[in-house]
Amino acid sequence: MKKALGTADDLSAANGDTILNRKQALGKANEWFEQQESGGVGIDPNIAVRDAIELTCEAGNAALAR
């Protein structure tokens, strides 16, 4: 599934919605994974491998930080 959580705050200030800092992006990724695990939203078959790896790494990092 290719799901954009938002744009990185590299060029613009984070707004917590469409432009995210690292913490906000991790939070959105965690919400997405929790939703997937609870069956809330079906997995999009068009996910890019790169995006899947990035989301998985972010979720793993967040889990380790807990």
pLDDT digits (tens, 9 = 90+) for 2-59: 678 888 999 999 998 889 999 999 988 888 888 777 665 555 667 788 887 888 888 8
Please state, in angstroms and rounded to a whole number, the distance separating the CA atoms of residues 37 and 11. Answer: 33
Q: Report the pLDDT value the prediction gives residue 45, as an integer from 0 to 100.
A: 61
Cβ atoms of 2 and 47 closer than 8 Å: yes
Please state, in angstroms and rounded to a whole number, the distance separating the CA atoms of residues 16 and 24. Answer: 6
Q: Report the pLDDT value the prediction gives residue 48, as an integer from 0 to 100.
A: 81
**Per-domain residue ranges for the chain?**
7-65
Q: Report the pLDDT value the prediction gives residue 21, as an integer from 0 to 100.
A: 92
Cβ atoms of 7 and 20 closer than 8 Å: yes
